[in-house]
Every structure is written in C-alpha cells, then in structure tokens.
C-alpha cells in the first residue's frame, strides 16, 4: 500500500476530465492505501471526488489561488505531500498539470516524469512516457523516494467507485516569491458551439481547405453532426481559424467517439492531439498521407467534393 496525492485542477465548477483519469491511476498506485486529492479553492468540486476514488480531499483556501498561480500551487502541493508522507504525487498531463508538477519537483530537487502512459510501483518506480508528440515511447526509472509524475491525457478511463471522502479546508503558507508568476487577466474565447475537449464528434479541416472560405463545408458538416469544429496548426498559422480550434500537441488533445479529418496530412504533433479519438475518418487526396496510418476509415478524394457530398447525404436521409 502507498499514500498517493493527486492534483485535481478545476474549471467552471467541474473537475478537469484528465484529473479524474489521474484519480483512477492514483487508486491503482495506492493499492488499498490512501488517495488524497488536492483542490485549489473550489469547494463545489471537492465533495464529489470521493466518487472517483479519493479517500480524502483537501481544499487549499487562499485569495492567491483563485486565479492560476503555478508557483503558489506548487508550494501548496509540495507542502501537503510532505505532511502526508506521500510516495506518489501525480497530476493530469495537461498544460496546467505539467506546469504545476514540474515546479513542485524542481522546488525540492526531485526528478519529474511527464506524460506517462503506464506506471509500475517498485524500487525504483518505472514509467512509460509518451515522447516526441507520441511518435515513441520511453521506458524510464524514477530514482527518488517520491515519484512526481503526470498522466498523459486519455490513456486510461476514469472509473467511478461510488465512494465518498471527507473534505478538509486549510489555509496554505505563501509568500511573495510564490506569487511572482500568476494570471492577472483573461481574454475569453468566443462563446457558442461545442467544446473541442468535450465533443463526441469533431470535424477538422487542414491546409487542404485552401482558404478561410474553404472551411464552409467543414462548418456545415459539423453543424449537421452536432460536432465541434477543429483544425490543424497550419490553418491557425495561416489565420483561417482561431487557435482555440487547433487539434494537436500545441492545441487541444481530444477524445471524441468520431474524428473526421479532412484535408489534413497528419503531422506528428497533430496526431498526438487526436490519438484519443475512438474512430478516425480521414479524407485526403493523398493515399500516402501520414493520417492514413492512424485512420480507421479513409476516403481518397478532394475534401471540397467529399465533405459537401457527406452533408448532402445526411440531409437526404433526414428528409431535409
């Protein structure tokens, strides 16, 4: 048995989905031991984490934690790990999770293993990590008394245990150095539509769209399917679509039931963001495009012809 501490970031009054997957990993690593969850400020989320495997929930209450402050969060996480004697400190392999856990390890000179796809307890703890945008897997050992790591998104399924956990609020010790880096303002993304991270279906376009106007068939198909609109990095660089729609290692990592990739060649960084999809339908003129190696279904053809044809068939079958 082991004591595990899990960082659970929240957004809009809900726990991060990858953090719930991390709680499932935490229960596996604890092997019957305690699984402690740390929540920063958000009381509303804390009460429900027992149902996802937490045996105790700690809520850090401090005005500095009401907005992202990674150094402050790292100190809170590290101090709590010390007080609990945690053998594992784990978090979600998201931008926020990796940022905080890296700082937590650096503060005390511990190694940090990011984006793990498998973790095996032992002496030493061994991990398998996703590297180079998912193009290779690295086997590594963590030579430390405490393993600090993050779980790659969507590599395991979050499992509800139906349990409950006591919630304890506390006020952490923070100083000015902990607040050197913090968010002081936000520019919200345009409202409306389906969120990429939550969508059951995502329809994306790439350089093959040819222009911003060439995305009209993508948007139409997404609307018919109740899907989110996505795109490749080349599209955002060209200014055809906003960065908030980018799928990939430097964009959003998705895990829909179906991912439709039209006119996307399938660069490594893009596939790293889409590999969580249950099914991939690729539409491309090039049968040798890298996306084809990851696709479950493929249509060889011009997206400007194929995508409108799919939309037309959907409308016909619906009698519209």
CATH number, residue 39: 3.40.50.620
154 and 72 belong to one structural domain: yes
145 and 248 belong to one structural domain: no
Angle value at C-alpha 273, between 272 and 277, nearest 5 degrees = 105
| Residue with the two structure tokens 């039931």 | 257
Q: Which residues contact 66 (CB under 8 A, 6 or more apart)?
A: 41
Cβ contact 246:233 at 8 Å:
yes
Quote the pLDDT of residue 136: 77
| Residue 212 within any structural domain of the chain | yes
261 and 217 belong to one structural domain: yes
Quote the pLDDT of residue 191: 57
- Quote the crossing angle between the two packed helices 70-84 and 95-108, to the nearest 10°: 60
State the DSSP code for 244.
Answer: G
172 and 25 belong to one structural domain: yes
Final residue of a structural domain among 125, 148, 179: 179
297 and 149 belong to one structural domain: no
| Residue 186 within any structural domain of the chain | no
- Output phi, psi for 86, to 5 deg: -70, 135
Cβ contact 222:245 at 8 Å:
no
| Residue 196 within any structural domain of the chain | no
| Residue 68 within any structural domain of the chain | yes
| Residue with the two structure tokens 């520019």 | 187
Quote the pLDDT of residue 293: 93
- Distance between CA atoms of 193 and 237, rounded to whole angstroms? 22
Cβ contact 26:57 at 8 Å:
no
Quote the pLDDT of residue 188: 67
168 and 283 belong to one structural domain: no
| Residue 191 within any structural domain of the chain | no
Q: Half-sphere exposure of residue 188, counting CA atoms within 13 Å on the CB side? A: 4
Quote the domain boundaries for residue 291. 201-318
69 and 137 belong to one structural domain: yes
- Output phi, psi for 125, to 5 deg: -70, 135
| Residue with the two structure tokens 């086997």 | 139
244 and 173 belong to one structural domain: no
Residue 88: in which H helix or E strand, if any? Answer: strand 88-92
30 and 100 belong to one structural domain: yes
Final residue of a structural domain among 149, 179, 209: 179
* DSSP code string of 127-150: EEEEEGGGTEEEEEEE-SSSEEEE
Cβ contact 103:89 at 8 Å:
no
Residue 239 Cα distances to 108, 207, 245, 270, angstroms: 42, 11, 12, 17
| Residue 287 within any structural domain of the chain | yes
Nearest of 284, 279, 235 to residue 258 by alpha carbon: 279
| Residue 117 within any structural domain of the chain | yes
225 and 172 belong to one structural domain: no
Residue 90: in which H helix or E strand, if any? Answer: strand 88-92
223 and 115 belong to one structural domain: no
* DSSP code string of 1-70: ---EEEE--EETTEE-HHHHHHHHHHHHHHTTS-EEEEEES-HHHHTTGGGGT-SEEEEE--GGGSS--H
CATH number, residue 265: 3.40.50.1220
| Residue 224 within any structural domain of the chain | yes
- How many structural domains compose the chain? 2
Pairing mode of beta strands 147-151, 201-205: unpaired
CB burial of 300-313 (b: ≥16 within 10 Å; e: otherwise) equals eeebbebbeebbee
Digitized pLDDT (tens) for each residue of the chain, 320 residues in all: 899 999 999 877 788 889 999 999 999 999 999 999 999 987 788 889 999 999 999 999 988 888 888 999 999 999 999 999 999 999 999 889 999 999 999 999 999 999 999 999 999 999 999 876 666 789 999 999 999 999 998 889 999 988 889 999 999 999 888 888 888 777 766 655 678 888 999 999 999 999 999 999 999 999 999 999 999 999 999 999 999 899 998 888 898 999 999 999 998 889 988 988 999 999 999 999 999 999 999 999 999 999 999 999 999 999 86
144 and 212 belong to one structural domain: no
């Amino acid at each position: 048995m082991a004591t595990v501490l899990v960082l659970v970031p929240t957004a809009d009054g809900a726990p991060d989905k990858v953090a719930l997957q991390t709680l499932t990993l935490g229960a596996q690593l604890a092997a019957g031991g305690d699984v402690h969850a740390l929540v920063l400020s958000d009381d509303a989320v804390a009460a429900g984490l027992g149902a996802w495997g937490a045996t105790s929930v700690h809520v850090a209450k401090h005005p500095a934690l009401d907005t992202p402050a990674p150094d402050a969060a790292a100190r809170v996480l590290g101090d709590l790990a010390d007080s609990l004697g945690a053998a594992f400190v784990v978090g979600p392999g998201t931008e926020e999770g990796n940022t905080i856990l890296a700082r937590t390890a650096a503060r005390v000179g511990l190694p940090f293993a990011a984006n793990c796809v498998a973790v095996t307890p032992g002496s030493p703890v061994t991990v398998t990590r996703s590297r180079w945008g998912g193009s290779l897997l690295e086997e590594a050992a963590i030579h430390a008394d405490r393993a600090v790591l993050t779980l790659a998104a969507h590599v395991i399924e979050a499992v509800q245990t139906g349990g409950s956990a006591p919630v304890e609020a506390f006020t952490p010790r923070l100083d000015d150095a902990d607040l050197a880096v913090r968010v002081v303002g936000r520019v919200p993304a345009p409202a409306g539509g389906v969120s990429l991270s939550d969508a059951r279906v995502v329809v994306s376009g790439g350089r093959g769209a040819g222009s911003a106007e060439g995305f009209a068939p993508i948007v139409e198909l997404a609307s018919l399917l109740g899907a989110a609109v996505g795109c490749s990095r080349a599209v955002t660089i060209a200014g055809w679509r906003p960065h908030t729609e980018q799928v990939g290692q430097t964009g959003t990592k998705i895990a829909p039931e179906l991912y439709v990739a039209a006119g996307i060649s399938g660069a490594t960084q893009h596939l790293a963001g889409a590999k969580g999809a249950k099914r991939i339908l690729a539409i491309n003129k090039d049968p040798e495009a890298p996306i084809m190696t990851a696709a479950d279904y493929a249509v060889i053809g011009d997206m400007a012809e194929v995508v409108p044809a799919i939309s037309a068939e959907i409308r016909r079958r619906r009698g519209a």
